[in-house]
Every structure is written in structure tokens, then in C-alpha cells.
Amino acid sequence: MAKPSHVFEQGNHSVKLFNVEVGDSGSRSDSSSTPPKPLLIAAPTEEGDYPVVLFLHGYLLFNSFYSQLFQHVASHGFIVIGPQLYSASGADCSEEIKSGGAVADWLIHGLVRVLPPHIRPNLSKSSLAGHSRGGKVAFALALGYAKTKLKFAALMGIDPVDGMDIGKQTPPPILSYVPGSLKLEMPVMLVGSGLGEVKKNLFFPPCAPKGVSHQQFFDECCSPSCHFVAKDYGHTDMLDDDTKGIRGKATYCACKNGKARKPMREFVGGIMVAFMEAYLEGDSQYLVAVKDDPEIAPVELSTIAFHE
């Protein structure tokens, strides 16, 4: 029997990737069609009801940098929503949290108005995810830092970062350095990069410094939660191969990288799908398969841990 590794490959759904700008009205004229922030959406094209993933981008990154990752997840039967929370930001991410909450609330009535009629979002199976500082913002939303009407069923931190240096969190702080202190009413997955805490060069600090990144978040999570670390890959290796512009080039220059982005991107997309299928659909075969046989993953895993 073939190993159940298909989550790390493109799924069976064709995918449409499209933008919705602030002010766009879609096919209807009411104000709920207008999102509070620009959106990048990846959705299956076949008729059906699909769970929704709200994915928050990393610090000073563009949502377009995640287009290949979004398409991978969507090809397995999910609608992925990537808001552009800001174009410039300082150390305090309070406004990002507020904006993320506004997008979450808009999804309740607005999302269906910008999707084709035959693509129906199942918001009862909504997941929240974020990369880098967006991972911190996702945790903040899950913890109620911004009150939202949309209830999330799962949380995923993709190499989350709560500060630039050990013990120096960006406000508002999330980590307390007390094991089990993050009381979340949903299952949580942490994905880490083995090279995230390694400096690229003398000019830049590590992109995911030890003490304020994935390991600390996992240590503070309660059951059920899981943690995977890709040994030889960096903090931005789940982004698109071609990230354009100055910020796109910086994703290669500022962070320590692995040999190629594709394996890490396939792993992140696949493990997100495996996690959501386990906790949203009750089908844990792929998550268990990775736990029992890590070699099915497209990257070498240095950490596989569960709080059960």
C-alpha cells in the first residue's frame, strides 16, 4: 500500500486565486461586500461547501508572497483568505490585531458575496493561521485580544514570532514564559523552522529568535496541540519561489534559508491540511502518519511533539 503522503502534493481540486480590494462590491451592491482590508483568496472551483482558513501574513510581507502556499491548501478543499493587514507598521501590532478581527467579522456576511454562488464557505469549520508576526496576531485573536463574532475551530502558528530578541516581545505581549499558560479553546499546531534562529549574516538578527518563537509558543500551549520543526529550512522558506520587489528580495537576504523553498512550502501546506482534516473533519490518518513515519514529509523533521 502506498504511503499516505498526498497532503504534501497538490490536491484534487482546481483552484482560483483572486484579489478583492477595499471598495470592490463583487456581484452585489450592499456594503457588506466590501472587506475592511484587501484580500487574496484561493478557493476551489468545483461546487461545494468548504472550510475557511484566515491566514495572516508576516511582518512587512505582502499577502501575495503566499500565493503558492494558499493554492496548495485550497487544492485540498479549503477556502484560504489572506488579508493585507498593512503596508507599513512599527513595533506595536495592536492595529494588526484590530484589523485581523475586523476581517474575521466581515467574513460572516461578506465572504459569500465575493465568492461564486456555487462555492459556499463553511464558517462553522473556520481555522486561524499566521506566519511570523502574523502568527502572534493569530494567537492574539484566538485569545480574544480583539473581540470577534466569528468562532474559530483551530489555530496554526507558522514559525510565529513574538519579538526580535529573547525576552523582548513586541507589544502587546502574548508569551508569559509559564508552561501551559495559553488557554485556548481550540486545537493548536505550531510549525517551526530549524534555521529561523540562525543569523543570515552580521547585519541582521535571526528572523525567529530563540525564546520568542515556535518552541516557546508550543511550551505554553495546552492539550490538544502539536509541534513540527523542519530542520534545514528557514523562516521565509514557505513563501513563493519568486517574491518580487525590495521586500521580496529581503526575504532571501534577511533570513537564513534552506536550499529551496518548494519542500518547505509543500510541508507547511500539507501539514496544515493534515491538521485541519484531523480536527475539523475527524480524519486523523495523515497527521498520525506523519507522527509515526516522518519520512513521508518532504523535509527532515527535527521535532515532532504532541500535547495530548
Q: What is the pLDDT along the chain (308 residues), one digit of tens a residue?
A: 344 458 999 999 999 999 999 976 544 445 566 999 999 999 999 999 999 999 999 999 999 999 999 999 999 999 999 999 998 888 899 999 999 999 999 999 999 999 999 999 999 999 999 999 999 999 999 999 999 999 999 999 999 999 876 667 889 999 999 999 999 999 999 999 999 999 988 778 899 999 999 999 999 999 999 999 999 999 999 999 999 899 999 899 889 999 999 999 999 999 999 999 999 999 999 999 999 999 999 999 999 999 98
The answer to whether 164 and 285 have CB atoms below 8 angstroms apart is no
Taking the chain, what is the end-to-end CA distance rounded to the nearest angstrom? 29
The reported pLDDT for the residue numbered 170 is: 85
Residue 181 annotated as catalytic: no
- Point out the catalytic residue in the list 13, 213, 235, 240: 235
- Point out the catalytic residue in the list 99, 127, 132, 193: 132
Would you say the pTM of this structure is higher than 0.75? yes
Which residues make Cβ contacts (< 8 Å) with residue 105, sequence separation at least 6? 148, 149, 150
The reported pLDDT for the residue numbered 32 is: 63
The reported pLDDT for the residue numbered 90 is: 84
Residue 131 annotated as catalytic: no
- Point out the catalytic residue in the list 13, 33, 159, 162: 159
Instruction: Please state which of the four CATH numbers 3.30.70.240, 3.40.50.1820, 2.20.25.650, 1.20.58.110 is assigned to the domain occupying 6-307.
Output: 3.40.50.1820
Residue 235 annotated as catalytic: yes
